[in-house]
């Protein structure tokens, strides 16, 4: 490899690393202060760089939040699709989806908070229509799993699956507001306890 090519690859790697650091800082600021209330200067300050230097990596605050959310959702749906394609029964699918949700919270906690707090506002822009698409897909996925469980006799038939879905959605994802990776329980341990608490209430036997 020529010295020029090595220098070029080293520069590209350094830029990618700095870009990732900037996105991580932006995600933390957006999650704690709110996307609309956060200025580009505040993001630059959190990342330890000059405001003008930020535009070397991103052309706008909107581009940053777009990449933060799209990266999180792409990984989340890849994890969910692996579960859905694995041929598990209803109960096992339920457990695996909840476990993957907590792993997403562990990996992307600020992005989850942004998604919860900002999706309704951001989805009004054509650039962010995928947020509403993801929410609709999420609801359809859970209802399909729950309805299949009722038909299979695994879940109780006297409970409304739409209400169960809302309970799962709100109970699991609100954990992003308090979860910390250095807490006494790991994401998998918290998921396990949530699964026990929920399933004790909806299993048919």
Task: Give the Cα separation of 11 and 81 in Å (integer).
Answer: 36
Q: pLDDT digits over 155-178, tens only?
A: 999 999 999 999 999 999 999 989
Does position 7 have pLDDT exceeding 60, yes or no? no
Label residue 125 by pLDDT band (50, 70, 90): very high
Question: Which of 94, 73, 76, 86 minimizes the C-alpha distance to 192?
Answer: 94
Cα distances (angstroms) measured from residue 104 to each of 49, 113, 171: 28, 11, 15
Cα distances (angstroms) measured from residue 82 to each of 15, 96, 102, 199: 32, 10, 15, 22
Cα distances (angstroms) measured from residue 10 to each of 17, 18, 135, 157: 11, 12, 39, 59
Could you tell me the two tokens for 136?
Answer: 């609709």
Task: Give the Cα separation of 199 and 25 in Å (integer).
Answer: 37
Question: Which of 67, 41, 66 minimizes the C-alpha distance to 54?
Answer: 41
Residue for token digits 């581009």?
63
Task: Give the Cα separation of 89 and 130 in Å (integer).
Answer: 29
State the average pLDDT over residues 189-203.
87
Tell me if domain 1-59 and domain 60-202 are identical in fold: no
Structural domain boundaries of the chain? 1-59, 60-202
Question: Which of 42, 13, 14, 37 minimizes the C-alpha distance to 26?
Answer: 42
Could you tell me the two tokens for 88?
Answer: 């598990």
Residue with the larger pLDDT of the pair 28 and 17: 28
Could you tell me the two tokens for 163?
Answer: 């209400």
CATH number (1.10.443.10, 3.20.20.140, 1.10.10.60, 3.40.50.720) of 1-59 reads 1.10.10.60
Tell me, what DSSP letter sits at residue 37?
T
Q: pLDDT digits over 141-158, tens only?
A: 999 999 999 999 999 999
CATH number (3.30.70.100, 1.10.357.10, 1.25.40.10, 3.30.565.40) of 60-202 reads 1.10.357.10
């Amino acid at each position: 490899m020529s010295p020029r090519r090595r220098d070029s690859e080293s520069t590209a790697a350094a830029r990618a690393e700095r870009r990732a650091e900037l996105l991580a800082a932006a995600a933390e600021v957006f999650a704690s202060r709110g996307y609309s209330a956060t200025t580009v200067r505040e993001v630059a300050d959190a990342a330890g760089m000059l405001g003008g230097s930020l535009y070397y990596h991103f052309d706008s605050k909107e581009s940053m939040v777009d990449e933060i959310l799209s990266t999180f959702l792409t990984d989340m749906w890849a994890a969910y699709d692996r579960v859905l394609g694995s041929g598990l029964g209803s109960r096992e699918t339920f457990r695996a989806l909840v476990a993957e949700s907590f792993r997403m919270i562990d990996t992307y906690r600020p992005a989850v908070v942004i998604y919860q707090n900002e999706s309704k506002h951001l989805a009004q822009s054509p650039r962010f229509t995928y947020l509403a698409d993801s929410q609709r897909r999420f609801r359809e996925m859970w209802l399909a799993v729950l309805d299949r469980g009722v038909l299979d006799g695994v879940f109780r038939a006297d409970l409304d699956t739409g209400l169960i879905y809302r309970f799962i959605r709100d109970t699991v994802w609100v954990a992003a507001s308090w979860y910390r990776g250095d807490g006494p329980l790991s994401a998998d341990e918290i998921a396990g306890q949530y699964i026990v608490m929920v399933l004790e209430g909806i299993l048919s036997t």
